[in-house]
Amino acid sequence: MKHIKLFWESLDDMTTILKKEWFLELVACTLAGFVLGIIFSPKKTTIIGCNNGNGHLDTQLDDQVED
């Protein structure tokens, strides 16, 4: 606990970072958020279309209609 307290108190120190460093940290955090969001998101089933039978190819029905 003593080490954590010392670390917490050291966070008040003023430091300077380069804009490039800050930008790369921002990009890394954003990408990590995307990856974690994809990993921990609930699984969804995606269906494209309304399943009303349009475009359904039934070869037996087509043979009966031609006869």
Residue 62 predicted with pLDDT over 60: no
Would you state the pLDDT for residue 54?
65
CB atoms < 10 A from the CB of 31, how many?
Answer: 10
Name the residue ranges covered by the structural domains of the chain.
1-42
CA separation for the pair 56, 67 (Å, rounded): 20
Per-residue pLDDT tens digits for 18-41: 999 999 999 999 999 999 998 998
Output the pTM of the full model.
Answer: 0.50
Residue with tokens 């070869």: 59
